[in-house]
Amino acid sequence: MHFDPAEALSREEIASLQTARLRETIERAARSPFYARVLAEAGVGPDDIKSPQDIRRLPLTTKQHLRASYPYGLVTVPIADLVRLHASSGTTGSPTAVFYTERDIRTWASLMARCMHMAGVRREDVFQNMSGYGLFTGGLGIHYGAEALGCLTIPAGAGNSRRQVKLIRDFSVSVVHIIPSYALHFADFLQSEGISPASLPIRIALIGAEPHTEETRRRIEGLYGCRAFNSYGLSEMNGPGVAFECTEQQGMHLWEDAFIAEILDPNTFEPVPDGELGELVLTTLTREGMPVIRYRTRDLTRFIPGQCACGRAHRRIDRIAGRTDDMLIIKGVNIYPMQVEQILMGMPEVGSNYLIELTRDGHMDQFTVKVEITEDFFVEDMRALNALRGRIVTKLRDELLITPRVELVQHGSLPVTEGKAQRVSDLRPKD
């Protein structure tokens, strides 16, 4: 696969395509039990769509709607026409099931190949997928995209660091897909084995699946001597491949021929101006087996104003700043875990792991940040450690507007998971 002509669409061409595909999506969605009901209640049909802006006439869809429609309530084709099922990684309530026809799988693979090609991956590259397979979309989604692009693809899966490094070395792997927190953990493992991460042949790392800061990306690039590209996707929209960075690394291009994106005030559901933070709401435009209309992702981002220097007209979204349901309210102050990461990952003394611990002392919530310190800095000089702790407290206080407790812990002492990192431990009693 080479350059996809859809990347070069103008704003006018995108709008025309979105209008036509939104009409088709409404018509198709009405074949599902869920959307047949909600579209009838809203009194909106395909003929009511004259422009992409008319999407605001359609009702919002939430994760609760998907759970309530489990298992087949959003399916628009006979089960015999479905070839794949993925499910969310959520741990509460019923999962959300997502279904794919054969055409959906091809479309998804094509979008993912487009993303990888835009980031500089070529068919000559050897690609190692260090992501979990199974019901999680990040494994097979990127795997199929890499094969569609023509790369030699190694389905290594998650974890087993010793095997990962052997595969990378033996087969001269030049591109990896890796969760950011595991990329930092893997670098720690390599260094403990006497291997410099930069000595590996990796030139591109595709990172995503969990929110991360620019500081984390730069740290990964510095450790491996590669370029790391941010990505965005969610199972309800296919999985990975919704948006991706180009080589400019100035935001993620969201593929507007396949999705309509809105950024809304999460309280009023009114659009926010470009450049302002809000909740990302997405509509599928090419999904056949299970179209989803105006899905509230709960992810907080913004449209980046202006056109990218790469020349693509598809709008860019900024890296995910957190989730509306990730917000912590401590002593009346709104805090997002990403604010903590931004401070910590910008400090060279800090290691690759941290944990926010929430407790209650009497009637007061307490906010403690446990911070791993690199082996070089974790010395027995208490004055040096106390000075470092004081600097971290000051930086966090200036950012968060409350004074957290900070505990410095030894490198490698905090728990590590092979999947998405768990950054918050809420130990407060349930009221």
pLDDT per residue as tens digits for the range 135-144: 889 899 999 9
Record the pTM: 0.85
What is the per-residue pLDDT for 91? Answer: 43
Tell me whether residue 364 is exposed, middle or buried, using C-beta atoms within 10 angstroms of its C-beta: 0 to 12, 13 to 18, 19 or more: exposed
What pLDDT was estimated at residue 88? Answer: 74
What's the pLDDT at 411? Answer: 86
Question: Phi then psi for 281, rounded to 5 degrees?
Answer: -120, 130
Q: Which of 274, 227, 226, 270 is nearest to 249 (CA)?
A: 227
The residue type found at 17 is: L
Residue 243, helix vs strand vs coil: strand
For the segment 83-107, what is each residue's pLDDT rounded down to a tens digit? 999 987 554 457 789 999 999 999 9
Enter the DSSP assignment of 429: P
Which pLDDT band, with edges at 50, 70 and 90, does 3 fall under?
A: low
- SS3 of 367-421: EEEEEEECCCCCCCCHHHHHHHHHHHHHHHHHHHCCCCEEEEECCCCCCCCCCCC
183-223, pLDDT tens digit by residue? 999 999 999 999 999 999 999 999 987 878 899 999 999 99
Mean pLDDT for 378-382 is 74
pLDDT value at residue 132: 87
Cis, bond preceding 240 (omega within 30 deg of 0):
no
Q: How far apart are CA 126 and CA 110, in angstroms?
A: 18
Q: In this structure, what DSSP letter does residue 331 have?
A: T
Highest mean pLDDT among 188-197, 342-351, 418-427: 188-197
What count of other Cβ atoms lies within 10 Å of the Cβ of residue 67?
A: 17
Query: What element of type H or E holds 356?
Result: strand 350-361
Amino acid residing at 341: E
Q: Is the pLDDT of residue 1 over 60?
A: no
Average pLDDT, the chain: 92
Whether 65 shows a pLDDT value over 70: the answer reads: yes
What value does the mean pLDDT take over residues 243-265? 98
Q: In the prediction, which pLDDT does 402 show?
A: 86
**Structural domains in the chain plus CATH codes:** 1-324 (3.40.50.12780), 328-426 (3.30.300.30)
Helix (H) or strand (E) holding 261, with range, is: strand 259-264
Rounded to whole angstroms, the Cα distance separating 336 from 416 reads 21
Average pLDDT over residues 29-41: 97
Of the pLDDT bands very low, low, confident and very high (cuts 50, 70, 90), residue 159 is: confident
| Helices 11-29/33-42 angle, 10° precision | 110
Which residues pair with residue 425 across a beta bridge? 357
